Chain A
Amino acid sequence: MQTKRMTFPGRWLPYALLAPQVVITLIFFIWPASQALYQSLLREDAFGLRTTFVGLENFVRLFGDPLYLNSMKVTLIFSLGTTLLSMSLALLLAVTVNRMIRSRSSYTTLLVWPYAIAPAIAGVLWWFIFNPSIGIVPYLLDMLGYRWNHRTSGGDAMLLVIIAAAWKQISYNVLFFLAGLQSIPQSLIEAAAIDGASPLKRFWTIVFPLLSPTTFFLLVVNVVYAMFDTFGVIHATTSGGPSQATNILVYKVYADGFVGLNLGSSAAQSVILMAIVIALTVVQFRFIERRVNY
C-alpha cells in the first residue's frame, strides 16, 4: 500500500501539531494508569495515615478472596449474557429492517436513539420498569404467578442488569449488522434460492457466515462494553447487590476503592481490568487482520 507522506518545514511543527493529543493522553490516560499501577503495590492503613510498600501482595490477596472470584464469575455471566442478548436481538432486528425497503431510514434513526442515552439514565429507566413495588413488569409477572424481586433474588437482579445493559447496546449492534447485511451481494442469496435453500437455510449457510467479520467485531466490542462500560447501569439499578450477585469487576473497583476505601486492592483490581482490556484489544486486532474465515 502506498502511504501519503507529508514533509513539514522545520522540526517543531510536527511536534506542536501532536502536542495537544499527547498532553491529553498523558493527563487522562497515562498518568492515572501509572498512579493505579503504583497504588496497587501499596497498602494504606485504616485511617489513611501511612502507606507501606507491599509488592504484589494486593494481587495475591485478590486471587485468594472468594468475593473477588465471585465477582469474576458474575462478570463472566453478565458480559456473556449481555453480549448474547444484545447481539441476537440486534441481528433479528437488522434482518427485519433489511427486508423493509421504504421505511428503512426513518426506522434506523429510531433504532439509534437508545444508544444516545447515558448508561445511568438507561439504568434508571429499567429500574422503574422493573421496580418491585411500582414497576409494570413485576406487576405483569405477578399476574402470571411469578414474584419478581431483584432486591432479594440474585437471579432476578442479574436478569435485570443484563436486560438493561443489553438494551442500550442493541442499536449500535443493529447498525453494524445492517451495514454488514447490505454488503452481502443480493445475487448470492438469489443463487442460493435457485440452489434450493429455504430462507432459513440461506440465512444460516450464506448470510451468517458472510457476516462473521461483523459478528466477531461486535462480539469484542460488546464484551468490552459489558465489562467496562456498564458501571452506570449497575449503579442505577442494583448497586452490585443483592449480596454481591451483580457486583461485576468494574463496579467492585469503585465499591472497594471509594466506598470501602481500600485503595490498594481497588488499584490492583483496576490493573487487572487494564490487562483484560489490553488482551481483548490484541485479540481483536489479530483476528481482524486475518479477516476471519473467508
Chain B
Amino acid sequence: MASITLEGLKKSYDGKIQAVKGIDLEVADGEFIVLVGPSGCGKSTLLRMVAGLETISQGELRIGERRVNDLEPAERDIAMVFQNYALYPHMTVFDNLAYGLKNRGFKRHDIERRVADTARMLEIETFLTRKPRQLSGGQRQRVAMGRALVREPAAFLLDEPLSNLDAKLRVQMRVEIKQLQRRLKTTSLYVTHDQLEAMTLGDRLVVLNQGQIEQVGTPMEIYTRPATMFVATFIGSPAMNMLPVDYLKERGANGVLDNLPQGTDIVGVRPDDMRMQAPAQPHLVVESTLELLEAAGAESHLYVRLAGSEQPTVIRTSGQPPVAEGETLRFHVIRDALHPFNRDTGQRTDC
C-alpha cells in the first residue's frame, strides 16, 4: 500500500504529439481515483506511465516515498488490469494467477495458498484448471482481477476493465470492484469513459481533457459544482444545458439574473432543474417547443427548442408527462440551479 504522487507529468510522442501536458495529482494511500475524460484525452497514456509501460517525458512520479520514473514495471509494485484482460492464453487460470508469484520467487505452497485465497474471493475456484478461451467474458474479467489481486501490490491500475462486458454484468462487476476495494483498501487508479462508473466508484474523480486536468474532486463536488464548462457538459447524462445570459435577459429574467458574478455570460442548467411546475421562489421562465419525447420508463427526456433561439435543450422529468410533440412548453428555473460560466475562459465564475 502506498500513495502515488504525480508532479508535472508530461508525455510527448516523437517530441511532437503531446498526449499528457503536465499532470499534478496526489493520490492518498488507499484512495480510489477514477480518471475520466473523452476518448483520446490521455487517460490510458497517463495510466501506462504510472505502470511503467510508457516512458515519462517530463515530471516526477513517486509511489510511496520512492521516485519510480526509471524503474521497470515489475519493480514498481503495481498490478494492472487491461481492457482486453491480456490473460496468457496458453496457461490455465491457475498458472495465469501464479505466473507473477513464480517470477518473484515465491515458494510453491505460498503460491498455492495465495492463488486459492484469491480464487475463493473472486469465486473462480471452479475454473482454475481451464484455459482462458474456455471462459465467458465475465469469468475472464474475474481472472484478470485475480491476477492483479493475488500479488497484493501497492497499487492497482485499471484501464477500462469493464468496457468489454454487457450492461448487466458491468453493473454487477462495478459493485463487486467497489466492495473489493473497500475491503482491501489498495490505492487504485481506474480509467473509464463511463460516467456512471466514474460517479459510483471513485472516492475522487479526475476529469481530463486534452492531456490536462479539468477538475479534481469527489463525485458530488464535480456534479454539483463543475469547475469548467467542459466538466459541466461532460459529467451528467443528459448533459447540462448551456443558456446564454443575453438571451435569457431578452426574454425577461424577472431579476433572477441581476446579481450574477462578474464575467458571467452563460449559465448552465441541469436537465432535472428545468421544472414544468412554477416554484414559489423567484425564477426564470423559458418557453420552448417540444421536438422529441423520449420515455424511458421511470423518467422521460424532453428534447426542446427554445423560443427565438436555435439552442437545443434537454429536460428530464420523472414518469411520463402528459405532453405531445410540437406542443409549446414553459419551464421554470430557480436561481440556485444556475451554474455561472464565462464563455471565453470556460471557467466557473462564482468560485
Binding site for B on A (CB under 8 A): 185, 187-188, 190-197, 201, 205-206, 209-210, 212, 293-294
Contact = CB atoms under 8 A, between A and B. Distances in A.
Across chains A and B, which 3 residue pairs bring their CB atoms closest together, nearest first? A195-B100, A196-B103, A187-B86
A191 B73 CA distance: 9
Contacts of A190: 51, 53, 73, 80, 82, 86
A205 B89 CA distance: 11
Contacts of A293: 90
Contacts of B80: 190-191, 194
B89 A210 contact: yes
Given A188-B88, A206-B88, A194 B79 contact: yes
Contacts of B114: none
Given A185-B86, A195-B103, A294-B133, 20 more contacts: A185-B84, A190-B51, A190-B53, A190-B73, A190-B86, A191-B82, A192-B99, A193-B73, A194-B52, A194-B100, A195-B74, A195-B99, A195-B100, A195-B147, A197-B74, A197-B99, A206-B88, A293-B90, A294-B90, A294-B131
22 contacts: A185-B84, A187-B84, A187-B86, A188-B88, A188-B89, A190-B53, A190-B73, A190-B80, A190-B82, A191-B80, A192-B99, A193-B52, A193-B73, A194-B51, A194-B79, A195-B74, A195-B99, A195-B103, A196-B100, A209-B90, A210-B90, A293-B90
Contacts of B100: 194-196
A226 B86 CA distance: 38
B49 interface: no
Nearest to B131: A294
A35 to B, nearest CB: 47
B168 to A, nearest CB: 26
B26 interface: no
- In this complex, the interface size class of chain B, counting residues with CB under 8 Å from chain A, is 20 to 34
Interface of B: 51-53, 72-74, 78-80, 82, 84, 86, 88-90, 99-100, 103-104, 131, 133, 147, 151
B103 A197 contact: yes
Given A201-B103, A294-B131, A194 B88 contact: no
Contacts of A196: 74, 100, 103-104
A191 B103 CA distance: 12
A279 B147 CA distance: 43
A197 B73 CA distance: 10
Nearest to B100: A195
Most-contacted residue by chain B among A185, A188, A210 (CB, 10 A): A188
B165 to A, nearest CB: 17
A45 to B, nearest CB: 60
Contacts of B74: 193-197
A195 B52 CA distance: 12
A192 B95 CA distance: 12
Nearest to B48: A190
Given A191-B80, A194-B78, A194-B79, A294 B73 contact: no
Contact of A294 (B89, B99, B151): B89
B163 to A, nearest CB: 14
Nearest to B153: A194
Nearest to A205: B99
Nearest to B99: A195
A192 to B, nearest CB: 7
Contacts of A205: 99
B104 A191 contact: no
B44 to A, nearest CB: 11
A260 B88 CA distance: 57
Contacts of B73: 190, 193-194
Given A185-B84, A206-B88, A209-B90, A193 B72 contact: yes
B76 to A, nearest CB: 8
Contacts of B78: 194
Contacts of B104: 196
Nearest to A184: B89
